[in-house]
Every structure is written in structure tokens, then in C-alpha cells.
Amino acid sequence: MLFTEPAFLFLFLPVLLALYFLSPSRASNVIITLASLLFYAIGEWAFLPWLLASTALNYVVAIGLEALQGSRWRKPLLALGIATDLALLVVFKYATLFTESLNGLLAAVDAGQLPVPQIPLPLGISFFTFHKISYKIDVYRGVAQVRRNPMDLLLYILLFPQLIAGPIVRYHDIAQELVRRTIRWTDFSEGVRRFILGMGKKMLIANTVALVADRIFALPADQLSTGLAWLGVVCYTLQIYFDFSGYSDMAIGLARMFGFHFLENFNFPYISTSITEFWRRWHISLSRWFRDYLYIPLGGNRGSPLRTYANLVIVFLLCGLWHGANWTFLAWGAFHGAMLVIERLGLLEKLERVPRPLRHVYTLLLVMVGWVLFRADSLAQAGVFLRAMVGLGAAGGVEHTVARYLDDAVIVALIAGVLGSGPVWSWFSTRLEQLRAKARGLAQGLTGVAMAVGSNAALVAILLASCTQIASDTYNPFIYFRF
């Protein structure tokens, strides 16, 4: 079920909120867990038994980790638990890629071919795999207590706001709220505000530019001009940010309505002035997960410079592979890992002497090159797109022009996307608050009322416009649902 479906907005969520707040507090975990089971089962009922069995195994492994304090068998048990989680992920997500790649090697030596398994990819499998691993490692490290009540663990794994596409919630970040939480009106209202803003990002900006990006990336090489290639990658750059950050905003907002506090997942990544800074701002929960559970255990930056660079590359190769079973994702991860190593080798110091606007352009160009790898269906298509972007494309006619794709809705979405990619609204709100603070007496009160009315009116407008799009538009995917 999508957060932007009428069934969710006007049936599932209102009914759940009513049951949640009208029931005794001791029943709250049961209600939201059952609702999360229903939420997932609606789209992925066939995979639900696997998910429940895997969660039960994690419950048993964590109990064992606690019981084996000081035992030499503790680390092997943790390794076994992580291996079972990863095995499930590999079978469902990577079996087809590995088999096709192996068949390519076999064909090169005229050997027989293996049957390619066609296994449907369960929604959100990467996200709840990371959650299960986080739980076991946190218990192993002693930063969180094991959950004796299996309902608490099931709730952590299945909590519906983050179940399908994150953000990746580390177990120790919400361990206490799984047991006891207090919902204040300020939290609930902030959750509603955040949800509406996220829905606006998704419906009004991401979906609009996505149509253009999809059409351009589907063009054959001989129809892809330089202008179209740049328009396509600009649209995709905005689409993936507003799609994923919009989902994260909705997830954070929904969680806040039910008393959970998720950490932020984006911090205006497109204002970054280096790839290093970009990864401090983009998909923050993923970066932190890889840092805490992979980069640091590998040695982080505690060893030699060469070991540090190797750790970075390994992490980003796996980060790319985590995103999807395609060599394009691996290339995207390798590209970002290589850029981080290059910046550590001295480029970052040189960039500090360059004017900030030029650093910003440098970062955006590299990020967009990376998005071409990320979006392309194959490395060959990525090569075609990159060549077209530098004027070396094979476009021979003017059948497809940039103007053909730029209607009023797309132009408005592009402008809103560019402005919304930076902290423009935060700056504007701060300026208004400063003006209100400078006012005195009645003027100060009237200014505050005007700001509140204006803010709420804007939220209502975003909500109505988003609902109109939901009612009239059938194009409504979330990019990260299949990662």
C-alpha cells in the first residue's frame, strides 16, 4: 500500500488512528503491529511467512547472544544470524543477477547455461534486512537490551511507516519507544505537517518531473540530443530527491503521530560543495548504518591510508549493490567511492580554495553523472547518455526537442524543485520570525497570527493539490520501494 493511495489516506490511516487513540495504552503495540502486518500483507502476502519466520529466528538469536555473555560461541552465533539474513536477501534479490553473470562467463568458454531463476523481489527487503542486522549487533555490543517480548521485536521490524522504503531505523535509536512512549499534541501536529509536506514533494514535484525523465531515458540513442540528455538527468536528479525525501518526510511524520521519533534522513544534499559533504546530507540513515556496522568494523580510518581508502571503496561498492541487482548500481557505488578517495587524497583541500559557487557546480555535476549510472537500465545506456551530455551523442534529427517536454506543469515543478532543494523556506521562516521578534505589542501578536495562518493555509493548499493529483493521476511509484 502506498502512502499516496486513497485507500491509505482515507481508510487505513484514519481507522488506525481512531483505534490507536481510543484503545488502552497497553494495547497500542498490538494495534500498530497488527496494522503493520496488514499494511505489508496487502501487497506482499506471499512473502509474509518468510518475514515472520526470519523475525522469529532473529528473536531466538538475540536471546542466545544475551545468554552467551563471555562465551566464545557468542561471535559465531552473531555471524550465523547475520548470514541467514543476508542469505535471504541474496536469494531474493541477487540470484538472477549472479546466474546471468555466470552464464555470460560460461558462454565465453562455450560451456552450458544455467537456468535463470525468476524470483519476485519482495517490497522493502533491503530495509528490513538492515533492521534485523542492526538489532542483533546492538544486542551483541550491549548498546541495547534484548527484547523478551516478541511483540516488541516484531513491531521494530514491521513498523509500517519505515517498513517499505526507510529511513533505516537503528534499533537502539527507538528501543525505549518500543516499550513506552508519550504522544503530545505538538508531536502529533508536527507529524501531520511533516506528512503533508512529504506528500507535496512526492505528488507535486517528483511525479511531474518523473514523467519527463522516464520518457527521455526511454529514447533510442539516435534521438537523444545533448539538450534532452541534460533535461532528462536534471529531471531525474530532482525526481529521486523529492521522491525519496518526500517518502522519508511522510514516514517521519507518520511515526511522530504514533509517538516514534525517527532521525532525519536528508539535509539539503544538493547544496553540498563536495562529494564528502553530499554523503553527510544524502540518505543519512544509510550512511550511518554503513559507517556503524561495516566501515568501523572493517577498521574505518584507524589503519594506514591505503586501508582507509580500501574500506571506503568496499563500503560504497556494497552500498551500490544494496540499491539493486544491476551492474549499474555497482558502477554508481564504485564511482562515489572513488570520488571520496580522490577527495581524501588532497582534492578536498584544493576545493577549499575555490569559490563556493564553483565547488557547488563541481559537486552537482558529479552527482548528476552518478545519477545517470543509477537510472540507466544498463552500462551501455549509461554510456550513451553520458556521451550525449558532452555533445558526442548520435542524435541525427530534431524529432524530439527540449520544448516538446516542457509544458507549464513541468516548468513550475522544475522551479519549485530547484528552490525546494535548498533551505529557502527555512531562511524565509527565520526572516519572518526575526521581523516578528522586532515588532512590539499588538504588531508582534498580529505578525505571529499572520505567520500561523499563512503557514496553515499553505499546508492546506499543498494537501488539496496533492489529493487532486492522487485522484487524477495514475503515475504514482516510489523509487525506493524495490530496493
Q: What is the pLDDT of residues 284-331, one digit of tens each?
A: 999 999 999 999 998 888 888 899 999 999 999 999 988 888 899 999
* Residues 416-426, mean pLDDT to the nearest whole number: 89
**% of the chain with per-residue pLDDT over 90:** 56
- Burial zone of 474 (CB within 10 Å; 0-12 exposed, 13-18 middle, 19+ buried): exposed
Please tell me the distance from the alpha carbon of residue 74 to that of residue 66, in angstroms, as a whole number.
9
Q: What is the pLDDT of residues 50-88, one digit of tens each?
A: 889 999 999 999 999 998 988 889 999 999 999 999 998
The count of other CB atoms within 10 Å of the CB of residue 67 is 11
Helix (H) or strand (E) holding 1: none
pLDDT of residue 455: 80
pLDDT of residue 439: 67
Largest CA-CA distance found in the chain, in angstroms, rounded: 86
* Residues 351-373, mean pLDDT to the nearest whole number: 95
pLDDT of residue 144: 84
Q: CA neighbours within 13 Å on the CB side: how many for 388? A: 27
Please tell me the distance from the alpha carbon of residue 305 to that of residue 178, in angstroms, as a whole number.
41
* Residues 170-194, mean pLDDT to the nearest whole number: 89
Contact 350, 276 (CB under 8 A): no
Name the more confident of 111 and 261: 261
pLDDT of residue 458: 87
Please tell me the distance from the alpha carbon of residue 481 to that of residue 124, in angstroms, as a whole number.
6
Please tell me the distance from the alpha carbon of residue 182 to that of residue 325, in angstroms, as a whole number.
41
pLDDT of residue 31: 94
- Average per-residue pLDDT in the chain? 88
Lowest mean pLDDT among 143-157, 200-214, 256-270, 421-435: 421-435
User: What is each CA distance from 263 to 168, 179, 255, 283, in whole angstroms?
Assistant: 9, 18, 11, 11
CB-based contacts of 471: which residues, under 8 Å, 6+ apart? 6
Contact 193, 253 (CB under 8 A): yes
Residue ranges per structural domain of the chain:
6-181, 267-391
What torsion, rounded to 10 degrees, do the Cα atoms 322, 327, 332, 333 define? 40
Contact 425, 410 (CB under 8 A): no
Q: What is the pLDDT of residues 122-145, one digit of tens each?
A: 878 888 889 999 999 999 998 888
Lowest mean pLDDT among 12-26, 213-227, 439-453: 439-453
> Is 360 one of the annotated active-site residues of the chain?
no
Write the single-letter amino acid at 319: C
Q: Does the structure show a pLDDT above 90 at 269?
A: yes
The active-site residue, picked from 131, 323, 336, 400, is 323
195: three-class secondary structure by DSSP? helix
Confidence bin at 479 (pLDDT 50/70/90): confident
Q: Does the structure show a pLDDT above 60 at 352?
A: yes
